[in-house]
Structure 1
Amino acid sequence: MKRMSNPLLRSKAALLFMCVAAGMSVVMPSCKKDDKESSQPAVSQAEVATVVNSAVTNGGVAAQTSAAATTASLYLGARKSAKTTGDDCGYTDEDSFQFSSDANASTTFSIDYTYKFVITCAADQYQSFNFTFAAKTSLGTSKISVADTSAATFAITGLDDASKNLVFNQAFDNKASLISKDGSGNSFYSTLKYSATDVTVSKTTLQIISGTAAVKITGITTTGKSFSYEGTIVYKGSNKAVFTITGGSSFDLQW
């Protein structure tokens, strides 16, 4: 089977669209219920949701999932049309790419990706695609700027013809800074850990259709106050999810 060079780059346009869309939604994620905190926290639930939203949408988990699903789909399609199979078992590839918004855009962003994947087989059939991602992203509006670094590992199964969906098991670590430009909110640094089991991605649309992820976010404000939150992300399909803080509010995510 002819090997494809850098198939992940074929999804660059989709990644770019997702990052632009993220720039429109990252500032004010929609809250599903009133925040009933009895005392003023170091960082509000809404501010934490902004960081989670950026980590998921702004070149983060959702974009990387779509890119990995695109790559797996390209190999599955190529294998079906190939006269021979098996020569791609154990194949690995890696690359990097960058793109950014116009400097004068009202919402600015930049993405710097590196990736690597390995194809594993069993009995000459695809068993899994194992991806690692590393990224640096930034996003800026008139009110805030967010800059982060992330590292992720994805294992993709569900590759046989009988499965309608790809299945992702994911670990995603993110370190971010959120700076308030107009003083209307806190400026802080955060560490986010994301873990998901059996997130399903349609083989037809290559979009997340269901799944749940556990999220823990800790950090410190620029004034030295620490904070810690835990919660869950539930994927709803149609490029939507809900982030719910344990014992707190729920926020809509969209990309």
Structure 2
Amino acid sequence: MFTLHTLKLKAVMPLAGALLMAASVISCRDDDNTDLETVTEAEAADAIEAAVTTDSNGVAQMAAGATAVAEDEAVYTNSPLINCGQLYTENHNATGAGVTYSYDYSGTHTYQLTCSAQGFAESFAYTYDMDGTYETARMYSDDNATANVAITGLAAGIPDALINGSYVRNGYQESKVRQMRHFNSLITINLDDVVVNKTSRQITGGTASVSMTGTGSAGNTFSYNGTITFNGNQSATLVINGTTYNINL
């Protein structure tokens, strides 16, 4: 009886070990699959960069477009071509293409000039709502972009304008690098005294806070927060969780 019991125990133990190892392998595979579907910080940085750069019709292009409208309406002079307090709405298209990028957006933009009691221009409100796509070397997106900003520093003779407000991008992205993940995201960028040169229409300074939330292809959620510093010379710095990413505007 002792010998038979010992033999049965020896037979059961290898079987239990094999089942444990199989369960472990399956668990690891499940974890690996989950990891593969998780949008990483680096991928979030790519999407945020695309929401900022000119090549993807991001914040830099929005700032250039808003200041161009202000200039066209002579807002930077003592004799603006638009009436104080009147709301103007127009169709707005933005398309561009280069060796490594393309974008195609359409929608409307709205603007309004606020004046002092003496009739001097004080603030230029600019909003837009755009739908379209962009593609860069690292990312493809089908999304909606909205901007709601105010431009100050309108007086003639001042070289720079200041932009404050929000820029939001909401839609679908496909990464073209690393694991080539695809996901849906909401990117919100809050602009704080962003400096735009009235002549070049380029961002030369200021900061922004950014948040990005979304859902991966497996239904898992993600969230990232960071800060953007506009350095001038067509560059910006994005910091997420202490990691720095350089952006060419």
Q: Give the TM interval when normalised to the shorter protein.
A: 0.7 to 0.9
Cα drift, residue 139 of structure 1: 2.1
Q: What amino acid does structure 2 have at the position aligned with 1:211?
A: G
2:51 match? 55
Give % identity. Answer: 27
The alignment's TM-score, normalised by the length of structure 2, stands at 0.74
Which of 114, 136, 159 does residue 120 from structure 1 map onto? Answer: 114
Structure 2 matches for 1:14-53, cutoff 5 A? 42-53=38-49
Cα drift, residue 183 of structure 1: 8.0
Structure 2 matches for 1:83-162, cutoff 5 A? 88-98=83-93, 100=95, 107-122=101-116, 123-140=118-135, 144-161=139-156
2:188 match? 193
The structure where helix makes up a greater share of residues is 2
Cα drift, residue 92 of structure 1: 2.9
Q: What amino acid does structure 2 have at the position aligned with 1:68?
A: A
**Structure 2 spans left out of the alignment, 5+ residues:** 1-34
Structure 2 matches for 1:171-190, cutoff 5 A? 171-180=166-175, 184-190=179-185
Cα drift, residue 143 of structure 1: 6.8
SS of aligned partner of 1:68: helix
Residues 156/184 of structure 1: CA separation in 2 closer, same or farther (3 Å cut):
same
Residues 124/49 of structure 1: CA separation in 2 closer, same or farther (3 Å cut):
same
Which of 192, 201, 217 does residue 206 from structure 1 map onto? Answer: 201
Whether contact under 8 Å (1:244, 1:251) holds in the other structure is yes
**Structure 1 spans left out of the alignment, 5+ residues:** 1-38
What is the rounded CA distance, in whole Å, between the counterparts of 1:177 and 1:85 in structure 2? 40
- Mapped pair 1:164 → 2:159: yes
Cα drift, residue 243 of structure 1: 1.0
Deviation string for 1:117-164 (max 9, x for gaps)? 001110110011001111123123687521111211110111123633
SS of aligned partner of 2:181: coil
2:220 match? 225
1:23 match? none
What is the rounded CA distance, in whole Å, between the counterparts of 2:112 and 2:223 in structure 1? 35
Whether contact under 8 Å (1:86, 1:124) holds in the other structure is no
Deviation string for 1:44-101 (max 9, x for gaps)? 1221011111111211211111111112223337845xxx679722233221233546
What is the rounded CA distance, in whole Å, between the counterparts of 2:177 and 2:232 in structure 1? 35
Whether contact under 8 Å (2:57, 2:94) holds in the other structure is no
Residues 41/85 of structure 1: CA separation in 2 closer, same or farther (3 Å cut):
closer
Which of 62, 65, 89 does residue 64 from structure 1 map onto? Answer: 62
Q: What amino acid does structure 2 have at the position aligned with 1:200?
A: V
Deviation string for 1:164-199 (max 9, x for gaps)? 311111211211211246883221111111111211
The alignment's TM-score, normalised by the length of structure 1, stands at 0.73
Equivalent residues, number: 211
Whether contact under 8 Å (1:173, 1:192) holds in the other structure is yes
What is the rounded CA distance, in whole Å, between the counterparts of 2:244 and 2:189 in structure 1? 17
SS of aligned partner of 2:42: helix
Residues 202/142 of structure 1: CA separation in 2 closer, same or farther (3 Å cut):
closer
Whether contact under 8 Å (1:190, 1:219) holds in the other structure is yes
Whether contact under 8 Å (1:85, 1:124) holds in the other structure is no
